Amino acid sequence: MKKIGIIGGIGWPSTIEYYRLICEASQIYHSGKNFTGPTPMPEMVIESLNMNFTINNRGTTESGSWAVWDEYFNHAIKRLENNGAELIVIASVTPHGRLNEISKGVNAPVLSIYDALGDYCAHAGIKKLLVLGTMPTMSSPAFYTNLAPFGVDVQYPHDEKQKSVVVDIIGRLYQNKREGAGESIDQAVRASISASDLENSAVCLGCTELPLAFPDFPGEASFRVNGITYINSAVVHASYAFRACTHSR
C-alpha cells in the first residue's frame, strides 16, 4: 500500500474521521485475505494545522491577499511529500477552493474531494447534486467547474437566506448541538429543490459537521432519509484515498 499524506486540523474532528475511515477501510479490504499478525495498515503521515491561524489569515477578493494562507498549506503539503507521502488528501472541503495554489510544486497527486465525488456520482448515476457546505464553499464556483467533467450538474441553495440557514446548522453542529438538525437540513433541501427534481438529485453533505445531523448512518457513503439521498463527502473522499493507496505502483 502506498503511504497516504493527510492535511488535518481543519478541523480536528474531521481529521479523526478521515483517519478512522481509512483504517476501517483497510480492515474491510484485508478481511478474508491471508496475512500474519494484526491487519496491515497503510503508513500515513498527518500534518495537523492550526485552524485559528488559517481562519485569521484567510484572504479577500484583493489580489495577493491569500499569500500567507496559501503558503501555510503549500508548505504543509510539501512536508507530507518530503516525508514519503505518495498520495495526499486534505481532510476538509473548504481549502479545496484554492487547490491549485496550495498544491504548487507538489509532485505527489493531491486527490481532490471533487474527483472523489465526481467518480462516486458517475458510478451511482447521479446527475444533479445540491451541495451544502460552509459559506466559502457555497460562494465558490469550484464544485460546478470540477464536477462538470463527470456529467454532474451542481447547485447550491438558491438564495442567501437559505445559505445562512445551512451555515447556522453547521455552527450548531460544531458545538455538538444535534437536536432538530436533520429536520432543518430537510427543510433547507426542500426549499432549494422542487419535489419533482428530488427523485433524480442527491444532496452532498459538503462539510464534515453536516453528517453529525444523521447519526444513524456513520461511515456510509450515501443514505436515504425521508425520500432524500444524502452523500457523506468525507466517507466518499476517504474511501477514494484508500482505494488509490492499494493501486499497484
Binding site for its own copies (CB under 8 A): 8-9, 11-12, 15-16, 19-20, 23, 35-53, 55-56, 79, 82-84
Grid cell of 168 as nine digits:
447556522
Question: In the complex, what is the shortest distance from the CB of residue 51 to its own copies, in angstroms, rounded to a whole number?
Answer: 5
Nearer to its own copies, 38 or 105 (CB): 38
The rounded distance, in Å, linking the Cα atoms of 98 and 92 is: 12
Nearer to its own copies, 36 or 61 (CB): 36
Question: In the complex, what is the shortest distance from the CB of residue 200 to its own copies, in angstroms, rounded to a whole number?
Answer: 38
Nearer to its own copies, 11 or 97 (CB): 11
Nearer to its own copies, 24 or 153 (CB): 24
Cis peptide before 9 (omega within 30 of 0): no
Question: In the complex, what is the shortest distance from the CB of residue 126 to its own copies, in angstroms, rounded to a whole number?
Answer: 31
Whether residue 233 contacts residue 205, with contact meaning beta carbons closer than 8 Å, is answered with yes
Helix (H, G, I), strand (E, B) or coil at 211: helix
Question: In the complex, what is the shortest distance from the CB of residue 182 to its own copies, in angstroms, rounded to a whole number?
Answer: 25
Q: What residue spans of 31-159 are helical by DSSP H?
A: 51-56, 67-82, 99-102, 113-124, 135-139, 142-147
